[in-house]
Amino acid sequence: MSLLAILIGLWGIIFVCLIVLMIYRGVIGRNEETELMVDQAEHRFKEEQENISNRIEQLSKPIRILSIAAGALLLIIIGVWIYTGLS
């Protein structure tokens, strides 16, 4: 296998993981309310919304890292492709 094929395969894996995380975050965030007004009887709704917000916040860092990795790897792939074409 050539270096370019390995890099493209690695980029594909990273990109699929990124898409899966973004879809998961979207599914979780679908039930999130931006503003929640509840009384004491509905206190469990507040805790549920806080849990959803925490889960979304925890996903932000891996999504950011995978986005940067996919972008950097794409630039490397383009560089290798151009270098291979010029050689």
Q: What is the pLDDT along the chain (87 residues), one digit of tens a residue?
A: 799 999 999 999 999 999 999 999 988 877 665 555 656 666 677 777 778 888 888 999 999 999 999 999 999 999 999 998 898
Q: Measured between alpha carbons, how far is residue 4 from residues 15, 46, 63, 68, 79 in Å? A: 16, 50, 25, 19, 10
Provide the pLDDT for residue 19: 97
Confidence at residue 10, expressed as pLDDT on a 0 to 100 scale: 96
* Whole-prediction pTM: 0.78
